[in-house]
Amino acid sequence: ETGVTQTPRHLVMGMTNKKSLKCEQHLGHNAMYWYKQSAKKPLELMFVYNFKEQTENNSVPSRFSPECPNSSHLFLHLHTLQPEDSALYLCASSQDILSNEQFFGPGTRLTVL
């Protein structure tokens, strides 16, 4: 238990569906991250939030839309995804963006049909 929870743990959706991934951290951290983990590829950083403000968007397609209503919660809204978007989506948090230690959640395994 790392103090970072993610729901749902598994999600299957069609290309026309709209769904959202949720991440919550109970560590009092101020920075939160979304990563994508695909088979045979390194973890890809998608978005970074620091004190609820987005500080990084690594050229992520607009069909992925993050939302950070407060420092403890992070959402990833999904719309019109493609099969190649199927992956494990990991949320992480750290004390702030200067911290070297990130705590990861268990991930949401997403399958796009």
Partner 1 sequence: TQLLEQSPQFLSIQEGENLTVYCNSSSVFSSLQWYRQEPGEGPVLLVTVVTGGEVKKLKRLTFQFGDARKDSSLHITAAQPGDTGLYLCAGPRAGNQFYFGTGTSLTVIP
Q: Using CB under 8 A as the criterion, which residues of the chain lie in contact with partner 1 when the complex forms?
A: 2, 4, 40-43, 45, 48, 55-56, 90-92, 97-107
Whose Cβ is closer to partner 1: residue 5's or residue 80's? 5
CB of 38 vs partner 1, minimal distance in Å: 10
Whose Cβ is closer to partner 1: residue 16's or residue 84's? 84
How far is CA 71 from each of CA 40, 82, 91, 92, 103, rounded to the nearest angstrom?
Answer: 32, 30, 13, 12, 14
Whose Cβ is closer to partner 1: residue 16's or residue 42's? 42
CB of 99 vs partner 1, minimal distance in Å: 8
Q: Which amino acid is at 64?
A: F
Whose Cβ is closer to partner 1: residue 55's or residue 82's? 55
CB of 98 vs partner 1, minimal distance in Å: 6
Task: Locate 79 and state its tokens.
Answer: 């719309």
Sequential DSSP letters for 8-59: -SEEEE-TT-EEEEEEEE-S--SEEEEEEE-TTS--EEEEEEETTEEEEE-S
